[in-house]
Amino acid sequence: MRVPGRFYLSQQLMGTLEEGAVRQLANIATLPGICRNSLAMPDIHWGYGFPIGGVGAFTMDEGIISPGGVGFDINCGVRLITTPLQRSDLGQLKKVLQELYNTIPTGVGTKSCVTVSDHELNRIMTEGARWTIEEGYGTERDLLWCEEQGCIEGADISHVSQKARKRGRPQCGTLGSGNHFLEVQCVEEIFDPEAARTFGIETGQICIMIHCGSRGLGHQICTDHLKVLEGAAKKYRIPLADKQLACAPLTSPEGEAYLSAMACAANYAWANRQMITHLTREVLSRAFSLSTEDMPLVYDVTHNVAKIEEHVVDGTRTTLCVHRKGATRAFGPGSHDLPPGCDAIGQPVIIPGSMGSSSYLLRGTDGAMEKTFGSTCHGAGRVLSRSQAKKTISGDSLQESLGRSGITVLAPSAGSIAEEAPDAYKPSAEVVKVVHEAGISAKVARLNPIGVIKG
């Protein structure tokens, strides 16, 4: 290990810590150019290469880029939308939820209602959410309240294979499967009134949370470049503690090619979530006579990406490539790329729960900038694999139980409900408590699900 490994956990969560995930955290610390620490958030669990919840920052001159530090679902991320509705307005929630389910393509192999041309796909990969806005699927304000304004620079479509393009062309505007979801939520508790006002959040308010990523395009880009970087690690004589950490120097042709292809997938993901936002707004507009302006975006943030950022290291502002694998950016007050009016607050941070558990809105902090390269957790973190969850939990019974608790769940199958059961995850409240008390993000509001669409 070139640097120490550091992870954030409470005593209550120690029993969820997997030996394999800790080993992966140690493996990150062996990579060239790693800066200060390898890091893991309290949602840490075993993943491919990096543990999920892992963070690694690398210097530009000696450091590497690794797909295992980003994940297959590039720019899997979360966005939160507010409405003027209150819980009492949702008398026909099941009808509205069914309309959302019918409108937004959900599950494995689903296709968008808008199949884009090759030229349009090129624009999506290079312009991100900007393309959707120009096509009429949102407003300029949406871009301002989105990480990187919905587009990472440096995307180069020449590094995206035809197979990846073929997978991505019909999927922009689809929710996908796995842990992806759309939730109708109610704001139950405000912890920071000033930040809540800045973010447009109030108690009793109905909000929509969307969780999805770059779909087949991102998965294929990761698959394609992993093969190249496996060879590059040997070519540049980079010793790997785990072959899943296949990587290349940031300044190498192979490293630059992956970084630019990853940017294409990240931009696609932002366009995807923006398209789903538009479809959601259309459904709510018809049901409640709302305008787009009535349903503003609180924020959109990614948790599977590698980005070139500046951070202060040993008193010197340094350019780094920060890998966040199942970890969320949490830039504090005065940082670059904050939404309008957030300079004194920090960026919004969105931490989802799992169907029956609370989700949280937090804000970035100075502590995150000092300790974790502006990073925090991304969710609750699994304690059961999907196959284990399906073996031990009945999806039908869970759906009925959640219904009795006032939570309506729609999904393609009982199995897709079982594999994402709340019991398959760590308690979201405890995970958020850890990052709050560690000072790497600060609680603003707690939201409870009342309607869930699972991928």
Distance CA 352, CA 24 (A): 24
Number of H helices and E strands in the chain, helices first, is 14, 17
pLDDT for residue 94 is more than 80: yes
- Judged against a pLDDT cut of 80, whether residue 5 lies above it is answered with yes
Residue 454: φ, ψ to 5°: -100, 145
Which tokens sit at 413? 């199958």
CA angle at residue 433 from 431 to 437, to 5 degrees? Answer: 125
What is the distance between the alpha carbons of residues 242 and 219, in angstroms, rounded to a whole number? 20
Q: Does 10 appear as a known binding residue?
A: no
**pLDDT tens, 275-293?**
999 999 999 999 999 999 9
∠ CA 119-125-129, nearest 5°, is: 105
d(C-alpha 194, C-alpha 192), whole Å: 6
Tokens of 40: 């893991």
The two structure tokens encoding residue 193: 């009134």
Q: What is the pLDDT of residues 185-238, one digit of tens each?
A: 999 999 999 999 999 999 999 999 999 999 999 999 999 999 999 999 999 999
Which residue, 408, 414, 401, is CA-closest to 107?
414
Element (H, E) at 354: none
Give CA–CA dist 33/267, Å, rounded: 27
Q: 175-186: per-residue pLDDT in tens?
A: 988 899 999 999
For the chain, what is the mean pLDDT?
Answer: 96
Residue 302 has pLDDT above 80, yes or no: yes
> pLDDT at position 178, please?
85
Confirm or deny that 272 is annotated as ligand binding.
no
The structure tokens 């073929």 sit at: 166
Cα distances (Å, whole numbers) of residue 374 to 43, 330, 333, 367: 16, 5, 11, 8
pLDDT given at position 114: 81
Cα–Cα distance, 394 to 391 (Å, whole number) = 8
At residue 92 the predicted structure's pLDDT band, cuts being 50, 70 and 90, is: confident
Q: Could you give all domains of the chain from N- to C-terminal order, each with its CATH number?
A: 5-383+425-454 (3.90.1860.10)
Check whether 326 is labelled as a binding-site residue.
no
Tens digits of residue pLDDT in 105-164: 988 777 888 889 999 999 999 999 999 999 999 999 999 999 999 999 999 999 999 999
Q: Rounded distance, CA 393 to CA 388, Å? A: 8
pLDDT of 232-258, one tens digit each?
999 999 999 999 999 999 999 999 999
According to DSSP, residue 420 is labeled T
Contact 161, 315 (CB under 8 A): no
Return the pLDDT at 115: 80
Residues 131-149 as b or e (16 or more Cβ within 10 Å = b):
bbbebebbbeebbebbbbb
Tell me: pLDDT of 90 over 80: yes
Residue 110's pLDDT is 79
What distance in Å separates the CA atoms of residue 141 and residue 213, rounded to the nearest whole number?
21
Q: Please, which residues bridge with residue 56 across strands? A: 38, 323
Active site residues: 378
Residue 416 φ/ψ region, left for φ over 0, alpha for ψ in the -120 to 50 degree band, beta for the rest: alpha
Structure confidence at residue 312 (pLDDT): 97
- Say if residue 183 carries a ligand binding annotation: yes
Q: Count the alpha carbons within 13 Å of 161 in the hemisphere toward its beta carbon.
A: 17
Confidence of residue 418 (pLDDT cuts 50, 70, 90): very high
* 219 marked among binding-site residues: no
179 labeled part of a ligand binding site: yes
Best CA proximity match to 16, nearest among 385, 383, 415, 428: 383
The three-state secondary structure class of 201 is coil
DSSP character at residue 115: P
The pLDDT tens digits for 69-88 are 999 999 999 999 999 999 99
Q: State CA 37 to chain mean position distance.
A: 22
**Residue 249 bridge partners (DSSP):** 64
Angle at 377 between CA 349 and CA 279, to 5 degrees: 50
Mean pLDDT of all residues in 329-343: 97
**pLDDT given at position 228:** 97
What pLDDT, on a 0 to 100 scale, did the predictor assign at position 57? Answer: 98
**What does the pLDDT read at residue 108?**
79
pLDDT at 177: 87
Listing DSSP states for 136-154 in one string gives TSS-HHHHHTSGGGG--TT
Question: Would you state the pLDDT for residue 401?
Answer: 95
Contact 232, 252 (CB under 8 A): yes
